[in-house]
Amino acid sequence: MKQTFRTLIALCLPLLLCGQVQAQHSGPSVGGLLGGNALVDAKSTDSRGDFALTFKPALLGSAVLGWDFEPGNSMGEGRVELEYSHRSNSLDRAKFSEGSFTGEGSMTADSLLFNFFGVVHNGSRWSPYAGVGIGVARVEASGLQVSGYSMAGGSSFVFAYQVGAGVDVALTNRLNLDLGYRYFGSSRPKFTEVAGSKFELDYSNHSAVLGLRVGF
């Protein structure tokens, strides 16, 4: 991940040092995001009581297809986009009333969101933005184990949402660098324990992202 970020920065730095870009793109755009993803401790309750699962940080990847509004648009300055994202985090530990135990397996979320981001254009190449997104996600628990014993598995389709903020950096009239933060969450996915009983689990995470978006 560090090497990828260094490569992107090395490619974009000469453009960042150039003069201001005055023209503002409007129309369709495509892009991609890469970032670090930290899953919040997932809390739940089953027949044995309350427990929580902690996960290791990992990468996320997103692809976006959007539309940049024209300056002075009645809907406001900004953009709308359709975003597909993939997140997968390995289970680190499971915390029960009896204590904390090592875990294995992963929690994966594939989401499709419709986003709206308001952008503040101030005549410079740096344009702050903020916005929200709603959609659906497929959250899958794959091979969850605690101290070597199988715990649960399965997948669930859930309502998903996110809020985000950051800065768009205009590299050219059509190419933008995206430096941003995303908070992603969903309604509680449902999984099946080895014994057959079902339980619901919290799912939310924080992400720092770096991306490129090109207009055409």
CATH number where 92 lies: 2.40.160.20
Does position 7 have pLDDT exceeding 60, yes or no? Answer: no
Determine, yes or no, domain membership for 120: yes
Range of the domain at 209: 2-19+31-215
d(CA 156, CA 66) in angstroms, rounded, equals 27
pLDDT tens column, 82-106: 999 999 999 999 999 889 999 999 9
pLDDT over threshold 70, residue 167 = yes
Q: Are 209 and 178 in contact (CB under 8 A)?
A: yes
Percent of the chain clearing pLDDT 70 (strictly above): 87
* Structure tokens, 162: 């996110």
Domain membership flag for residue 165:
yes
Q: How confident is the model at residue 45 (pLDDT cuts 50, 70, 90)?
A: confident
Distance CA 79, CA 26 (A): 9
Average pLDDT, the chain: 88
Q: Residue 63: inside a domain, yes or no?
A: yes
Q: What's the pTM value of the predicted model, to 2 decimals?
A: 0.85
In a domain, 149, yes or no: yes
Q: How many domains are contained in the chain? A: 1
Residue 48: pLDDT band with limits 50, 70, 90:
confident
HSE of 129 in the Cβ direction (CA atoms, 13 Å)? 31
pLDDT digits (tens, 9 = 90+) for 130-155: 999 999 999 999 999 999 899 989 99
Rg (C-alpha) for the chain, rounded Å, is 20
Q: Residue range 189-194: average pLDDT?
A: 91
